[in-house]
Amino acid sequence: MKIVYIVAMVAEAKPFIEHYGVELQEGFFAPLPCMCYKAEVHNNELYVVLNGQQHGSDLVGCEAASVATLSAIQKINPDIIINSGTCGAFKSNGAEIADVYLGNAVMFHDRRVPGDDEWGTQALGNYPVYDKVLEMADALGFKTGKVTTGSSLDMQPCDKEIIEQNGGELKDMEGAAVAFVCSLFQKPILFVKSVTDLCDSGAETFEEFSKNLAKASEALKEANIKIIDYLTK
């Protein structure tokens, strides 16, 4: 089996990269900024694809995630794509810092397009996710929630309204873009999201995010080890 991880930030991938000893494949995606790391795990191929960097910072967000996902599918033809990363969540849903969730659905919350139902439907995305996610969450003891993606770290009142109306629970900046590309190729997409910040805590998001990034990334590593064992057993 070929497993491809799409990860936005070096900090999110680092514990995982170190654990599996994946090796950088120089020039794999040249001239694109994405980086490919590869290892063998129980006779399966594990790829970790990072969106890459620009101006000295990680390429977070939908554009870079789409490019990475498209290129990875075309070059590797994986059996499953896993988007692993951090997210904001809501304490009103019972979320706590460093909780790990699997995505049971995925949408966009900041594509406000006026028009009839068809335009609204496209704007929200609502792409299919890995069909065995609930079974997996049950077996491994993860919570599940709906991933909701936008291009900003903060949450404006108009984002909040769409998130509430559509049941968004795990706020990130890449998930729906990855799922969009996967839907074009009918590739299964699994989301593994660890909570760095609580959008309804009243705290400043970036401060909370920065404070908890290392802890959440460690939780992601532990979760991904279980997931890879489960998929490859």
Residues that bind ligand SAH (CB under 6 A): 8-9, 60, 85-88, 153, 171-174, 196-197, 199, 205, 209
Smallest gap, in angstroms, from Cβ of residue 173 to ligand SAH? 4
Question: Which residue, among 220, 227, 215, 233, has the nearest Cα to 81 in the 3D structure?
Answer: 227
Write out the two tokens for 163: 């998130």
Q: Is the Cβ of residue 38 or residue 193 nearer to ligand SAH in the bound state?
A: 193
Q: How far is CA 94 from CA 10, 101, 136, 142, in A?
A: 28, 12, 20, 13
User: DSSP for 86-137?
Assistant: EEEE-GGGT--TT-EEEEEEEEESS----SSHHHHHHHH--B---TTHHHHH
Contact between residue 178 and residue 203 where contact means Cβ atoms under 8 Å apart: no
Active site residue 18: no
Contact between residue 86 and residue 187 where contact means Cβ atoms under 8 Å apart: no
The helix/strand/coil state of 80 is strand
Contact between residue 183 and residue 128 where contact means Cβ atoms under 8 Å apart: yes
Contact between residue 198 and residue 111 where contact means Cβ atoms under 8 Å apart: no
Q: Which of 58, 110, 159, 197 is catalytic?
A: 197
Q: Is the Cβ of residue 81 or residue 87 nearer to ligand SAH in the bound state?
A: 87
Q: Which of 12, 110, 159, 174 is catalytic?
A: 12
Q: Is the Cβ of residue 169 or residue 172 nearer to ligand SAH in the bound state?
A: 172
Active site residue 172: no
Q: Point out the residue whose Cβ comes nearest to ligand SAH.
A: 88
Smallest gap, in angstroms, from Cβ of residue 62 to ligand SAH? 10
Q: Is the Cβ of residue 44 or residue 93 nearer to ligand SAH in the bound state?
A: 93
Smallest gap, in angstroms, from Cβ of residue 9 to ligand SAH? 6
Smallest gap, in angstroms, from Cβ of residue 135 to ligand SAH? 26
Tell me the catalytic residues: 12, 197
